[in-house]
A and B are shown apart, each in its own frame.
Chain A
Amino acid sequence: MAKLIFELSAAGHRAVTFPSTSCQDVDFKAFEAQSLPDLPEIAEIDLVRHYIGLSKMAHGVDTGFYPLGSCTMKYNPKLNEDVASLEGFAKTHPYQPAWSVQGNLKAMRHLQDALSEVCGMDEFTLQPAAGAHGEFTGMLIIAAYHRTNNDTKRTKVIVPDAAHGTNPASAVMAGFDVVTVKSDANGGVDFEALKTLVDDTTAALMLTNPNTLGLFDPNIKAIADLVHDAGGLLYYDGANLNAIMGLSRPGDMGFDVVHLNLHKTFSTPHGGGGPGSGPVGVKKFLTPFLPKGSYLREHPESLSFAPSQSIGRMRSFHGNFLTTMRALTYILFNGKGLTEVSKVAILNANYMMHHLSDIFTVAYPQICMHEFVLTLEKEKDKYQVSAKDLSKAMLDFNMHPPTMYFPQIVHEALMIEPNETESKSTLDEAIALFKMLYQRMIEDPSYLQNAPYTTPVKRVDDVLAARVPIVKYQKESK
């Protein structure tokens, strides 16, 4: 393990200095700090080596295959980064007068229009900072809409059992009660069950389509009609939009509100956990509810416009602006070719699924969209090898494992999303690796149970971490 940066610290070391000033110091008296904070003192060369060392203990899309289901870990184009570092974008203050940021405003408008076309929506706000933030935004919009109609008994949001955990959490933040609808035998929303749940207390149905099993719901139109006929709205979780660009649009399916994850579908890098960007799109009748500070078509002069029934501001300023510029770059580059992106994402997923299905059990065996889910339930019983064990074994082969144990309706789940930027040979190598590890499981389960072997640390004790939390550096912890 690498040393902590605090353990490299030596008094008097320092990388960066500042020009001097002759301005007189201020005495803050009782407000003055009594001591310096415990920050590392380190020379520039040692600082560089520390972080390069850490970077070697990280795995990005640039390092190797990353088929993490529902996360769309596609290639992050270098062009995006060049655009985001342009001074005209990077050095503008969020409170500059509008006349001095016309380029930013035009680019935001461009992106909002392009996203509207891809999704079949009428307007977008770029303010939400991430997918879950977009969900919360959308739920607040739906709450405000029903209240405006004096439709106050709509207290329930219906969420499928296969949904991302953020969905129910976001609905609750907006004051709703969550009702779970189960999936049917084919992995779609159980339409009969849904019928019994939808009534005049339904505020909305939140849906990911294709869902987290990678399946396009065959009843989507009927589902939308059912909810709309009962007076509810439809919310689209855009986590899986990479499957349908140019093939089908949430707005045409009947969704009233969508959020996108620009850090998934639109190729912006995920940075080890963020920043993302979660623009929210709405149909025209919901534009009066958009967040304050959204940049709206009708008000091209104003950066702080509050629509008539706005839910208010979701965060400060104008969203994760540089992230949105990366996404616009990606859209300009692909243009109409976004359709090809989704088609190849579907091809790659089906290719992997097909060539794994002779050995592995596919949870819902049918043509999938951009991802699919394996279950290792049988293998767990027979060899005591879990989805986690198989995943950990992959770490020794420069491949990030699939998403584990999700969706929760599939036991010992491995959710695989290859995405369109991977070549056939990469997919073939991954398929071969899966099969090799399967064979090892039969011959020697302990090999997988004790993996990984070549990573900087061996199997990490998560239970200990939670039982005895150490969440900051302590000098005696060496």
Chain B
Amino acid sequence: MGTYIPHTKEDQALMLTSIAQTWDSLLSTIPDNVRLKRELNLPDGLSEFEVFQIMKNYASQNVVFNTILRGAGAYDHYIPSVVKHLSAREEFVTAYTPYQSELSQGILQSIFEFQSMMASLTGMDAANASVYDGATAAAEAISMSYERGRRTVLLSHALHPETIEVIKTYVQELDVTIKMIELHDGQTSVDSLKSHLDETVCAVLVQHPNYFGILEDVSSIRESITDSKVKFIVSVNPMTLGRLANPGSYGADIVVGEAQPFGLNLAFGGPYLGFMCTTDKYVRRLPGRIVGQTLDSEGQRAFTLTLQAREQHIRREKATSSICSNQAHCALTAAMYLSSIGPVGLKEVATQCASKAHTFARKLEKIGYKVTYPHEFFHEFVTTTPVSTSLIESTLAKHGVLSGLILDDNHMLWCVSETTGDQKLDDIVTILAEVNHG
């Protein structure tokens, strides 16, 4: 049986004697009427070897696809070795939240660097240290936006469906009205947005590129929001910012998103990395940890958790968010990833994703697929398929390829990243052409 308890039985006996207690007396403060009077109904503990076999057996019952053409909020990118090794450093892995700043400068500085990178990427003034994931980041951004008499939020119908669901969950017990902005050909309709704007609206949230991979008309959306009390919130896949203009440049007030593409495994959906960035105007409304630069008693640069008057451990029931633990280690990993590829590398990854996706789309069109929407897309796109999407999924799976995501019987949402080689894309098109011919 395994144990991580270092004491021998003799140690324990010695300790009990030295404090003049017995096991019975130590446990006596648990009232008899709530004592568990049996063993836990769990198997005996196991050796490390046995446990690893069991877990390996579970892992082996999953299919690991060698090519992944599915995104929809979770993206397959190359993770450099240096990122894997550095992020596994035990001092980072086994530390708690850096409450004791003098002992935690390494953690604090790494978060400060992460915040700086995200602020620069999004064109914002500030970032927090992370939240649970991209969907909860969007929900937290909504919570930042309320004003007296203004509690209507307008959500694009082209947000990730789970983001919409999470926002609805978050506000369900609060006096908040959600209105959905309609789509036109897969893109958020500016006319629909305008028709919903009134003096009760506090926020407009769009995803760019949206769930279908389409670039939103962010400039027109920004221009249509003329009331300064309405926050323009943009959800982005931050990898696309290697190529696309940052949200600060087109007037976003709050930028959120999922930074899993930055060095985090697909991991069946988590842990991932929600990020939140904003302007100086709203920085004191950000939820969660923020690291700030300051000085120590000798005047040296130092870092510490700051603006804590926003947070639950100070404000308790007056805090706007209860978040405490975040995704700090994922943020560390993302900062390592961005540092390992640099600005030029990020542009290259983004460019490869987009160019490969467009090439793949053109090749699919040659074999009877139709790109469903007329708008420009980044590295995800919807096709209307010539055969049933379930047949496409099952056929590609036999070749070790995870197809695009099935939206319905004849619509599939594809995603191409830098991890799929040119030849592989050709091979997949060949397989799909054969499927067409039965």
B5 touches A341 (CB 8 A): yes
Whole-angstrom distance between the alpha carbons of A286 and B355 in the complex?
49
Given contacts A26-B355, A367-B21, contact A323 B270 (CB under 8 A): yes
Task: State whether A39 and B343 are in contact (beta carbons under 8 Å apart), knowing that A132-B324, A273-B328 are contacts in the complex.
Answer: yes
Task: Flag whether B304 is at the interface (Cβ < 8 A).
Answer: yes
With A37-B120, A58-B106 given, is the CB distance from A16 to B340 under 8 Å? yes
A336 and B36 contact, CB distance less than 8 A: no
**Which residues of A are found within 8 Å of B300, using beta-carbon distances?**
1, 457-458
Complex interface: chain B residues within 8 A of A458 (CB): 102, 296-298, 300
6 smallest CB-CB distances across A and B, nearest first, come from A317-B269, A271-B329, A88-B59, A175-B173, A103-B61, A273-B328
Q: How far is B92's CA from A143's CA once the two chains are assembled, in angstroms? A: 38
Judged by a CB distance under 8 angstroms, whether A236 is at the interface is no
Interface 1/0 per residue, B1-25 and A, CB below 8 Å:
1111111000110111011110101
Q: Which residues of A contact B190 (CB under 8 A)?
A: none
CA distance A195 to B120 in the complex (A): 54
When the two chains form their complex, are residues B31 and A133 in contact, meaning their CB atoms are under 8 A apart? Answer: no
Measured between alpha carbons, how far is A367 from B166 in the docked complex, in Å?
Answer: 44
Q: Does any Cβ of B come within 8 Å of A440's Cβ?
A: no
A452 at the interface (CB under 8 A from B): yes
CA separation between A370 and B350, bound complex, in Å?
50
Q: Which B residues, 79 to 130, have Cβ-Cβ distances below 8 Å to chain A?
A: 80, 82, 85-86, 88-107, 109-113, 115-117, 119-121, 125-127, 129-130
Chain B 305-323 per-residue mask, 1 if CB under 8 angstroms from chain A, else 0: 0111101111111110111
Given A31-B245, A171-B317, A466-B308, CB of A51 within 8 Å of CB of B346: no
- Residues 12-25 of A, flagged 1 when their CB comes within 8 A of B and 0 if not, give 01111111011111
Smallest CB–CB gap between B330 and chain A, Å? 6
Q: Please, which residues of chain B bring their CB within 8 A of the CB of A51?
A: 86, 89, 110, 336
A-B contact pairs, 18 of them (CB 8 A): A2-B109, A39-B342, A40-B339, A102-B62, A110-B58, A130-B132, A173-B174, A261-B325, A313-B166, A322-B268, A329-B55, A332-B43, A332-B46, A343-B23, A367-B25, A367-B26, A452-B103, A464-B295
Q: Of A18, A103, A132, A338, which one neighbours B62 at CB under 8 angstroms?
A: A103
Q: Indicate which residue in A15, A71, A174, A318 contacts B173 across the interface (CB closer than 8 Å).
A: A174
| Nearest B residue (CB) for A323 | B271
Residues of A within 8 Å of B19, CB to CB, are 350-351, 354-355
CA distance A87 to B68 in the complex (A): 14
Q: Is A220 an interface residue (CB 8 A)?
A: yes
Please provide the chain A residues from 85 to 139 with a CB less than 8 Å away from any CB of chain B in the complex: 86-97, 100-104, 106-107, 110, 114, 117-118, 129-133, 135-136
Residue of B nearest to A391 (CB): B100
- The residues of A that contact B270 with a CB separation of less than 8 Å are 94, 129, 275, 315, 317-323
Closest B residue by C-beta to A352: B19
Docked CA distance A325–B55 (Å)? 8
A292 at the interface (CB under 8 A from B): yes
Of B34, B63, B313, B359, most A-chain CB atoms within 10 Å: B34
Contacting pair A16 B268 (CB below 8 A): no
- A135 with B267: in contact, given A14-B344, A421-B4 (CB under 8 Å)? no
Q: Within the complex, which residue of A95, A221, A270 is in contact with B97, where a contact is CB–CB below 8 Å?
A: A270
Q: Which of B45, B107, B162 contacts A316 (CB 8 A)?
A: B162
**Complex CA–CA separation, A205 to B351 (angstroms):** 54
Residues of B within 8 Å of A76, CB to CB, are 93-94
A383 within 8 A of B: no
Q: Which of A329-376 contact B (CB under 8 A)?
A: 329, 331-341, 343-344, 346-348, 350-351, 354-355, 366-369
Q: B259-297 vs A: 1/0 string, CB under 8 Å?
A: 000000111111110000000000100000111111111
Q: Does A340 contact B34, Cβ atoms closer than 8 Å?
A: no
Take A88-B64, A129-B136 as given contacts and tell me if A15 and B12 are in contact as well, using a CB distance cutoff of 8 Å: no
